[in-house]
Chains A and B, each alone.
Chain A
Amino acid sequence: MDKEQINKKLEEVIRDVLPDVEDINMTSSITDIYGVNSVSLIRLIVAAESKFDVQFSDYELALSSYDTFGDLAATISEKLAQ
């Protein structure tokens, strides 16, 4: 799956989990711009695991690991490549 496909699929997950989010920019701050917090991030990760058939470790659930949705996409990409 290439970067564009991952971003597109991740956008679907974001819209599903965070229905209030309108324009998704993969490089904007997820906390400042989209109000993502530690709980909503874990909801996103759980939904992404199911969508992409990947598994995040417990240590990868920390909000501080992801500044942007692009960081989340990059982690998914690494997992898909393994």
Chain B
Amino acid sequence: MADMKKLPVTYPTITSWQWHATLFSILSDDENAKKWIFSNYIQLRCYNIQEIFTGDEMLLTDMMPGSSSLKQCPYLVFSLLTKAQIESYCGNIIDFIIKTIDLNGYVYGVFDEAKILCDAEVDYKFPHELFIYGYNRDEEIFYVGDFTFQDHYSYNTVSFSDIERGYEVITEKDDHVFKDDYKGGRGLYVVMKNSDTVCYDVDIELIKTTLREYLNSMDTKNHFRMMRNRFNDTTFGIKVYDKTLAQIERQVHAEEPDYDIRALHVMYDHKVLMLERIKYLMNNGYLKYNQDTIDEYETVVTNMLTARNLLVRISITGEIEAASRFKKYFDTAKEKEVCVLFRILAELEEN
């Protein structure tokens, strides 16, 4: 076995959830994978759930195919391994991860990051997905990607012993990745890049269908039956703007405000990716090149970014009176986005 190996990663285009940051860390700059990426991630959905760690209510917003993307993307080879398999094949988790990386497999799964982050023993758990892409046997460290180590997505190192402790204490109940797959038990995902040849071309029919469903806020559950669709109160598409705005207003005016920027960050990432999609479709002849359309959609991105930054600012200063400005940014972004996307949909349908 080598002393050190790092699989390639690129800082992800979108970082809103760990599953997206992982997929985009592996595939962001891959031209073949863009064919799948830009055919997907169009529909937005949101629903209220109880936060895993705190039990507080949160608005979970995501782009479809959401956390199923690692399994569904044809430019990745995905394997799910149970804890029993890992132990049977390798004896321990450290050897398993090193051997997997030696075979060009990235590792993804739930670890107790409280054990990883705190030097002292702590009496609580913070089960969170960790993305592992390399190791160094001399320094006894793994190279990982996560949000937990800084207040944004970043690449860091974690010692072998912390990974071992963080893995061992996770129970079946804590392993939300396996639970979300409707699987009992616990374990890890192994993900390999599979993009040497084109196995999936740009799917214009899917783009048209999901754009239509996004713009009309239609229920898209049936397209994504492999996903977690266990919630009945899901809001889809453009109506996610209204739901998110209502959620922010509730948050900032609560007796003890809880500033959760995640829904806004997902919406911002959705616009970033949509802008990239529009440019890609223009550059590859699926749409006529039109700088005005790009400029118009850039105002959508700017307004969503401004709304997200405003919430960060309010969380720092506590100036809740500034919350009245959210509506302006949301209304501008929504109005522009609807206008641009209907025009793009019409052009795609004409072709």
**Distance in Å from the Cβ of B72 to the closest Cβ of chain A?**
29
Complex interface: stretch among A5-13, A21-29, A39-47, A73-81: A39-47
**Distance in Å from the Cβ of B336 to the closest Cβ of chain A?**
15
Given contacts A58-B329, A59-B302, contact A38 B317 (CB under 8 A): no
- Check A59 against B313 for contact (C-beta < 8 Å): no
**Distance in Å from the Cβ of A63 to the closest Cβ of chain B?**
9
Contacts of B305 in A (CB 8 A): 62
Given contacts A46-B317, A61-B309, A61-B313, contact A39 B152 (CB under 8 A): yes
**Distance in Å from the Cβ of A4 to the closest Cβ of chain B?**
28
- Spell out B's residues near A (CB within 8 Å): 150-152, 302, 305-306, 308-310, 312-313, 316-317, 325, 329
What is the CA–CA distance of A22 and B316 in the complex, to the nearest angstrom? 24
- Check B329 against A40 for contact (C-beta < 8 Å): no
- Check A38 against B312 for contact (C-beta < 8 Å): yes
- Check A62 against B150 for contact (C-beta < 8 Å): no
What is the CA–CA distance of A61 and B325 in the complex, to the nearest angstrom? 14
Contacts of A59 in B (CB 8 A): 302, 306
What is the CA–CA distance of A12 and B136 in the complex, to the nearest angstrom? 38
- Spell out A's residues near B (CB within 8 Å): 35, 37-40, 42-43, 45-46, 58-59, 61-62
**Distance in Å from the Cβ of B257 to the closest Cβ of chain A?**
16
A-B CB contact pairs (8 Å), 11 listed: A35-B150, A37-B150, A37-B152, A38-B152, A38-B308, A43-B316, A46-B316, A58-B309, A58-B329, A62-B306, A62-B309
What is the CA–CA distance of A2 and B113 in the complex, to the nearest angstrom? 47
**Distance in Å from the Cβ of A36 to the closest Cβ of chain B?**
10
